[in-house]
Amino acid sequence: MTTKPLHPGQTIGIVGGGQLGRMMALACAELGFKCHIYCPEENAPASQVAHLTTCAAYDDLAALADFAAQVDVVTYEFENIPADSIAALTSSKPVAPPAQALKVSQDRLDEKTFIAALGIDVAAFYDITDIASLEAGLAQTGGHGILKTRRFGYDGKGQWRLGPDSDLAQVLDALDGQPAILEALVDFEREVSLIVARDHAGTVSSYAPIENVHKNHILHQSTLPAQLSHELTQQATQIAETLAAALDYIGVLAIETFVTSAGLIVNEIAPRVHNSGHLTQDACACGQFEQHIRAISGWPLGDTQAHSDALMTNLLGDDVLAWESWAAQPATRVHLYGKAEAKPGRKMGHVTQLKKPQ
Amino acid sequence: MTTKPLHPGQTIGIVGGGQLGRMMALACAELGFKCHIYCPEENAPASQVAHLTTCAAYDDLAALADFAAQVDVVTYEFENIPADSIAALTSSKPVAPPAQALKVSQDRLDEKTFIAALGIDVAAFYDITDIASLEAGLAQTGGHGILKTRRFGYDGKGQWRLGPDSDLAQVLDALDGQPAILEALVDFEREVSLIVARDHAGTVSSYAPIENVHKNHILHQSTLPAQLSHELTQQATQIAETLAAALDYIGVLAIETFVTSAGLIVNEIAPRVHNSGHLTQDACACGQFEQHIRAISGWPLGDTQAHSDALMTNLLGDDVLAWESWAAQPATRVHLYGKAEAKPGRKMGHVTQLKKPQ
């Protein structure tokens, strides 16, 4: 991958047209880059603010090659891009974050195995292929655990919480032959995410850890900074640096962790900007979206220092109808994603409330 | 003009495709609005980040009407729009700021007359139509003054500084029959601009005064907040409120003033977002671009409180080549405008350096 920085006026290609792509496109604009979106949807949130859009399926290799030919670097806003598609892009243009990071994060078993091999704590986990392996796993985890599909799960989808009374045959029916992983339950005090960036030269830059509260398995609120001891903050930095280096990572990497009495346990990683990092764009000199664009473009990483403390609240579904009252709040920034339909649970926007640092 | 707020998803029409239009378009995107640009240039800075662009001349009344039919409110990024064009837009959709503000600011004689009639201090000024009126004016101003075309001047263009040795006949030749105004020289300590917003209900919200330094008649640096006594800050607020109310203004209004030993003297007004206000987007919860979009959309005005002090530096022409070293500075935000050619003096971008409030 080239280490020569892209110049203003060159074009960033983004695979995916949702709100993450939209906010990356806006960051491209601030830095003087053009932005070309690739997504199957017409009038996607990202397309509304991009210079160009290629509207095609994620497995349309010819369209992907044509798209790559028109841009100077390719990035993406989600991790479930087919391997063949990434290969088609990579053969033509630099792709960041690297394919290896995508591959690891696409599969929960690969992910946990990779992280654990680095000496970083994760929940105990077991490869589940049938009822025998599921029963064997549960025997190890004391009869409780979470069964998750290895691929394509998000926001609690493809997950089953299991206990001694669970009907395992029924759960395996619902799983319908998908490869799965059983994870032991983690007794955690809170959830904290680490948003970190790594550039071409291997420099790693972290935002202060962010504390998250989920509702119905969907992120509800994030707070910057997390209440974290000095020791745990140091552990967080070390985890972030270890993971980013091991993945030979370029771009923004999100790491979700549990705070436990035994320290931080990594839950999962996302090779992209992350919902819990949205508040950085309002609270820091350089937010995660700009940081990602800087990293993949070979620019110097931006300043992650926060000028304000921040509380981010997601606007899901009809929450967005309260835009006018949010807009009237002092020290509050409103971000809406340009989505036409407010389906239940759909991420329609977010608000960030700023306050003076403590 | 309607006072019902526009809903996210509705469309803001912006006449003009330059950097001010670009930054307004980005603010539209944050609030979930679509943005439709009207400008004669292909691939204009604003078009690169807008949902749609109508590419047509500013006096193409049919194209303007067609554009207005497709948007929900019309605004503009510069004041030299022909009156007939504004009339064509106004007949179809709400236009903000109001035509009256455009009219006043398009003509320096009208502008000074309007401001003076409100009891606000301006430099002594004289209508110049020929050599006799010019000689009579100079007799009043002690032989020194600045002759300016009444219309279409900016960044020092269409201005002549006159003294006892000036060849008045030659200057009038250069003026080539354009209506002009002679202004007395103002002995000022510093230049301060007021960025103010007024909403449909008549609420006025001001940013803290901003101090400006020009080089070769072009804005070089702006500092937030200006060093201004409590009394002058109060005078600034009063001037801003008086002018915004007198113009029945909706949107962001910029007022350039001179700080003199006798208080503030208004130099000129601009019925739009303003270069000196760029730093508000990085230093305040709600920057001038978002504030303008909020005001013209009937939204609550945003919070103008600054979380940081700020110094903005314009990147003119080749200054932009230093983007990489600016990008490496701590607490610094880089904004580039997507312009292909760095002609001398051309506004290519700006940088804002943030620091903790004093």
CA distance A330 to chain B (A): 5
Domain with CATH 3.30.1490.20 in chain B: 124-183
CA distance A209 to chain B (A): 19
Residues of B in contact with A328 (CB under 8 A): 300
Average pLDDT (B333-340) is 96
| pLDDT at B278 > cutoff 80 | yes
| pLDDT at A78 > cutoff 80 | yes
| pLDDT at B52 > cutoff 90 | yes
So what's the pLDDT on residue A222?
Answer: 98
What are the tokens at A27? 């960051």
Output the pTM of the full model.
Answer: 0.95
Closest CA to B308 of B274, B325, B333: B333
In CATH, the architecture of B11-95 is 3-Layer(aba) Sandwich (3.40)
Cα angle: B183, vertex B184, B190; to 5 degrees: 100
Pair B162, B171: CB distance under 8 Å: yes
Instruction: Give the A window 269-298 contacts with B, CB below 8 Å.
Output: 285-286, 294
Q: How many Cα atoms occupy the beta-carbon half-sphere of B152 within 13 Å?
A: 6
Q: Do B285 and A356 touch (CB under 8 A)?
A: no
Residues of A in contact with B285 (CB under 8 A): 330-333, 354
Q: Is B135 on the interface with A (CB under 8 A)?
A: no
* Pick among B30, B36, B52 to test the A interface (most A CBs inside 10 A): B30
Summarize pLDDT for A164-215 with one digit per residue, the tens.
999 999 999 988 889 999 999 999 999 999 999 999 999 999 999 999 999 9
So what's the pLDDT on residue A345?
Answer: 92
Q: Is B320 on the interface with A (CB under 8 A)?
A: yes
* Pick among B307, B341, B358 to test the A interface (most A CBs inside 10 A): B307
What are the tokens at A276? 């819990």
| pLDDT at A3 > cutoff 90 | no
Class of domain A124-183: alpha beta
Least CB-CB distance to B331: which of A5, A303, A328? A303
| pLDDT at B189 > cutoff 80 | yes
Pair A303, A286: CB distance under 8 Å: yes
Sign of the C-alpha dihedral, residues A217, A272, A300, A282?
negative
Residue with tokens 């000024």: B125
Other C-beta atoms lying within 10 Å of the C-beta of residue A62: 9
Of the pLDDT bands very low, low, confident and very high (cuts 50, 70, 90), residue B1 is: very low
Q: Tell me what the pLDDT averaged over chain B comes to.
A: 95
Other C-beta atoms lying within 10 Å of the C-beta of residue A242: 15
Closest CA to B340 of A34, A26, A72, A298: A34
Sign of the C-alpha dihedral, residues B240, B244, B245, B246?
positive
CA distance B33 to chain A (A): 7
Q: Is B328 on the interface with A (CB under 8 A)?
A: yes
| pLDDT at B22 > cutoff 90 | yes
> Which chain B residue's Cα is nearest to A298?
B324
Separation between Cα atoms, residue A194 and residue A209, nearest integer Å: 5
Superfamily of domain A190-355: ATP-grasp fold, B domain (3.30.470.20)
CA distance A263 to chain B (A): 32
Domain with CATH 3.30.470.20 in chain A: 190-355
Closest CA to A101 of A72, A121, A76: A76
So what's the pLDDT on residue A1?
Answer: 47
| pLDDT at A142 > cutoff 70 | yes
Q: Is B357 on the interface with A (CB under 8 A)?
A: no
Residue with tokens 């804002």: B352
Average pLDDT (A342-352) is 96
Domain with CATH 3.40.50.20 in chain B: 11-95
CA distance B202 to chain A (A): 16
Pair A290, A27: CB distance under 8 Å: yes
So what's the pLDDT on residue B260?
Answer: 97
So what's the pLDDT on residue B3?
Answer: 63
Q: Which element (helix H / strand E) includes B269? A: strand B263-270
ipTM of the complex: 0.94
Query: In the beta sheet, which residues pair with residue A349?
Result: A315, A336
Sign of the C-alpha dihedral, residues B94, B97, B102, B103?
positive
Pair B227, B157: CB distance under 8 Å: no
